[in-house]
Structure 1
Amino acid sequence: MDFSNKVVIITGASSGIGAAAAVLFAKQSAKVVLVGRNETKLLDIAKKCKDAKGIEPLTVRADLTNDEDVKKIFDETIKHFGRIDVLVNNAGIGFRGGIRDGVEIYDRAMATNVRPVYLLTSLATPYLVQSKGNVINVSSVAALKPIKDVAFLAYCMSKAALDQFTRCVALELAGDGVRVNSVNPGATKTNFAEAAGMSKEQTEKLYESRDQNNPLRKMAKSEEVADLILYLASDRAASITGATFVIDNGEMLV
């Protein structure tokens, strides 16, 4: 797969799946735009991207819950590269809590995991129509089934909303040649659980449980999810839109 002269925006690019996807796109000669809140980590990933093929990426420090920051991403991308071919909506946060924990968690989950994706995709659409580009939304198996062992009600709801967003926008933009798809990872070895407020010990127990109970007896690696993102963004997936692709080591089966 060759992404020469293609401009790829990746949110949440400073770690985990976003960072792995950024490096992988860079290895395929893409011009990568790295978006995240941690500038130090962004610069570290930027160096890895440049080392891949010598193409200098653009880094944009942004808080996606701030509309002006979101607009800045597109202003800087167009100023720097002049076009947009792929938008990877990867940034998202886990929110622990159930129905007894009040509505504030729900408000935060939707404001963080859904609203920015809506705004980002809306602002990207005119450029994607010009380039006949595509959008990849990073969702979760939590959109399709409740998370076992831990209450993640609002998070599950936000990811279910994201999947429906994928289908609706895919239908709306299909006539313009723009594809929209979703990647739905199961448990993946990233900093997700700790970022959601779990202790290191709780995270280790959760990961041990997934390694033991997933049918394939393992968890996914960020690079494996990134491979799927790359494929869906490529011309090889030219006939795929409005789809949700589960990558979960069989987690959905149990």
Structure 2
Amino acid sequence: MDFTDKVVIVTGASSGIGAATAVLYAKQSAKVVIVGRNETGLNKVAQQCEAAKGLKPLIVKADLTSDEDVKKIATRTIEIFGKIDVLVNNAGVGFRGSVRDGVELFDQAMASNLRPAYLLTGLITQHLMKTKGNIVNVSSVAAFRPIKDLDFTPYCISKAGLDMFTKCVALELARDGIRVNSVNPGGTKTPFVEAAGFTKQQAEEVFENRKTIYPLGKVCTTEEVAELILYLSSEKARSITGGIFVIDNGEILT
């Protein structure tokens, strides 16, 4: 797959799936825009991207719960590159909590995991129309069912909403030549679990436990998820839109 001269925005790119995705696009000669809150992480990813093919990525430090920061992503990309070909709405936060804990965690989950994707997509649709570009949203198998042994109710609801967003926008934008798909990972070795409030040891125990449960006996790597994102945004997937693509080592079969 060749992304020469393609401009790709990846949110949540300072670590995990977003970082692996940005680097993989860079290896395919894309002009990458990496977005995140962790400036140190972004700089590290930027170095990896530039090392791939010598193309310096655009770093946009942004808090996606801020509308002004979301708008900055679109304006800065157009200022520097003049167009947008691919948007990867990857940024997301894990929220542990129960309905008994009040509505605040729900509000935070929606504000972090769904609203920014909605806003940023709306802002750049006019640019994607010009390039006949596409969008890949990074959701989760948690969109399909509750996470059995963990209290992640707000997170699951936000990801279910993101899946419906994918389908609705895919239908809405299809006649404009814009494709929209979703990648839904299962357990993946990222900082996600620790960021949700677990200790490092607890996170390791979660991953080890998952390996015994999943039919394929392993969890995903960030690179595996990134490869699926790359494929869906490439010309090889030019007839695919509105799809929800699971990569979970058989997790939802259990």
Calculate the TM-score normalised by the size of structure 1.
0.99
**Matches of 2:149 and 2:202 in 1, distance apart?**
11
Asked if residue 20 in structure 1 is aligned to residue 25 in structure 2, the reply is no
Aligned position for 1:31 = 31
Asked if residue 54 in structure 1 is aligned to residue 48 in structure 2, the reply is no
Deviations 1:81-124 (A, max 9, x none): 00000000000000001121111110100011010010010001
Residue identity matched to 1:243: G
**Matches of 2:163 and 2:210 in 1, distance apart?**
23
Structure 1 residue 144, shift from structure 2 partner = 0.6
Structure 1 residue 201, shift from structure 2 partner = 2.4
Residue identity matched to 2:228: L
Aligned alpha-carbon RMSD (Å): 0.6
The alignment partner of 2:125 has SS state of helix
- For residues 57-72 of structure 1, the aligned pairs below 5 Å read 57-72=57-72
**Matches of 1:158 and 1:248 in 2, distance apart?**
19
Deviations 1:131-161 (A, max 9, x none): 0000000000000111021110010000000
Deviations 1:11-63 (A, max 9, x none): 00000000000000000000000000011111111111011011111000000
The runs of 5 or more residues in structure 1 that have no matched partner are none
**Percent of matched pairs sharing the same residue:** 67
**Matches of 1:73 and 1:144 in 2, distance apart?**
30
Aligned position for 1:253 = 253
Aligned position for 1:229 = 229
Aligned position for 1:210 = 210
**Matches of 1:208 and 1:99 in 2, distance apart?**
28
Aligned position for 1:6 = 6
**Matches of 2:206 and 2:184 in 1, distance apart?**
19
What is the number of equivalent residue pairs in this alignment?
Answer: 254
The runs of 5 or more residues in structure 2 that have no matched partner are none
Aligned position for 1:220 = 220
The alignment partner of 1:32 has SS state of strand
Aligned position for 2:45 = 45
The alignment partner of 1:242 has SS state of coil
**Matches of 2:174 and 2:225 in 1, distance apart?**
25
The alignment partner of 2:181 has SS state of strand
Runs (4+) off by over 4 Å? none
Residue identity matched to 1:233: S
Calculate the TM-score normalised by the size of structure 2.
0.99
